[in-house]
Amino acid sequence: MDYKMDSGWKLHPIGGDTGHAYMGVRAEEKVFLKRNSSPFLAALSVEGITPRLIWTKRIGNGDILTAQEWLNGRVLLGNEMNSKEIIDIMRKYHRSEHLLSMLRKVKGQVYHPEMFLNDYLADLEEDLSTNSFLNTIVAYLQETLHYVKDARYTVCHGDLNRKNFLLTEDERLYLVDWESVKIADPFSDISMLLVRYVDPSDWDHWLDKYGLMKTDEVYQCLEWYSFVNRLLLTKKYHENGENIKMNQQILHMKEAYVNRIHHK
């Protein structure tokens, strides 16, 4: 997209899901540009969770461009998603009252558990809406909403994908792409990372590293959000024609549903 910028910047699109990201080049200067990023980005930059924010600018068509320092690095691999460094970042923003206050100030969306379930049910294709097992999971989640009703809400990233973790050449780790940020139960974040990247046999160890006491309430919340996130992934993979990944999620749900045992 050709932005009318009066300062000599040349924009080069960067591949991604949104099509909103660019490498901006002017003379010897290079920055990471994104249009219409969350206004919460400035607070994250100050905390060192995202790369440093350099400037924000409203351009001719009304869009807002944000420029962050350009960092050479790479995204994480799936088998790197169980690291202490990732847990440290998650704990930092989950436990930050300052970030929560800043997100409230910019009118961050508050996301209640039933809203995650509604995201799955909205515009659901017939293959999934008529699947008796998936409907059993939906009914179970509706029946057990009380498991997750009294949670303390925190800042949640909302899209903990390995591609949103940037490891720089000097081994600094950042979490980027905060367009899905929300105020929600931190288990919505925790379970998304676990169901995508961590073998269920390692979940207890992960919870230990995060610093969670393994109470009945913790296991109930983790179970609820794990099911809802697996449903959301099933829907996503179905829409993308990724049938192997979709069936893997369904198999995980069947195993968890059959073997569900509340720790006592």
| Residues involved in catalysis | 159
Alpha helices in the chain (DSSP H): 41-46, 84-94, 97-105, 113-121, 126-129, 132-143, 186-197, 203-210, 216-239, 243-259
Strand partners, 74: 167
What is the Cα–Cα distance from 241 to 246, expressed in whole angstroms? 9
The pair of three-digit structure tokens given for residue 204, joined into one six-digit string: 């207890």
The pair of three-digit structure tokens given for residue 48, joined into one six-digit string: 């060192």
The distance in angstroms from the start CA to the end CA of the chain is 57
Phi and psi at residue 263, to the nearest 5°: -65, 135
CB–CB of 148/225 below 8 Å? yes
